[in-house]
Amino acid sequence: MPRTPHYGFAGKRVIVTGAASGIGHRTTELLLEAGAHVVALDRNPVDLKVAQFIRIDMTNPGTISGAARQIDGDIDVLLNIAGVPGTADPEVTMRVNVLGLRMLTELLVGRMRSGGAVTNVASIAGAQWQAHLDEIQRLLATPDYETGVAWVKDHPMDGKRAYDFSKECVVVLTKQHGRFLREHGVRVNSVSPGPVRTPILKDFRESIGAVLDLVTRETGRDATVDDIARVLLFVSDPVLQWLNATDVQVDGGFMSGLVGGWVKLGS
């Protein structure tokens, strides 16, 4: 496909978690093409010429706070892309997908320039957040990482439910942060992909293969990392100053098809 430059990121300092592979890697590539100064955060080395690479383990709050201290300069955009699938240990899923994301965001917000943006990767697996809002709010009411972990330990769930719940939490956290970050002049939104052709897609098929097969059949294909990365940059673009606290579903229309009647569950 033709490469469309994302001019709004030229000279911007952008933090990308999960930059070593999948959606995070492609997003980093596009940002570098656009002239951004990218700080890449991941457990694994990043094979791109970023301005700064910092190792981070989202299951370990000490490395999160350490990574935040190592980031040079002010920040224009934070892209919270790192995540694990439902085949991971449920506590690990909640640490990485929710608690680590929240902690890093709250550590960095004071260093973000007015007019900046935070974009979180959720999932259409989190689309049922309204049905579980009370439980989500109880977890998000925990004041810090460790009390969040304690809440998770007190509310055991299997791997699939932990993944779905983690992404429901990301959608709701985004909405909660809408006012908190706005007070700093920063927008926050989430992007919810359907199935994406990444190295961990096989893990998703292992845990929820029948659901993914339905989405793929109804939409005609799985998303590419480019499909999702370009939406992440669009949502995070500095020109979109009035898009805030919103979840953007990027699934080829599948979830809308359920409402519109052209997707039939069990068909």
CB-based contacts of 115: which residues, under 8 Å, 6+ apart? Answer: 76, 185, 186, 238, 241
User: What DSSP line would sit under the chain, residue for residue?
Assistant: -PPPP-GGGTT-EEEEETTTSHHHHHHHHHHHHTT-EEEEEESS---S--SEEEE--TT-HHHHHHHHHH--S-EEEEEE-----TTS-HHHHHIIIIIIHHHHHHHHGGGEEEEEEEEEE--GGGTTGGGGHHHHHHHHTS-SHHHHHHHHHHS---HHHHHHHHHHHHHHHHHHHHHHHHTTT-EEEEEEE-SB-STTHHHHHHHHHHHHHHHHHHHSSPBPHHHHHHHHHHHH-TT-TT--S-EEEESTTHHHHHHHTS--TT-
Beta-bridge partners for 249: 192
Active site residue 145: no
Q: Which of 163, 165, 204, 254 is catalytic?
A: 163
Active site residues: 163
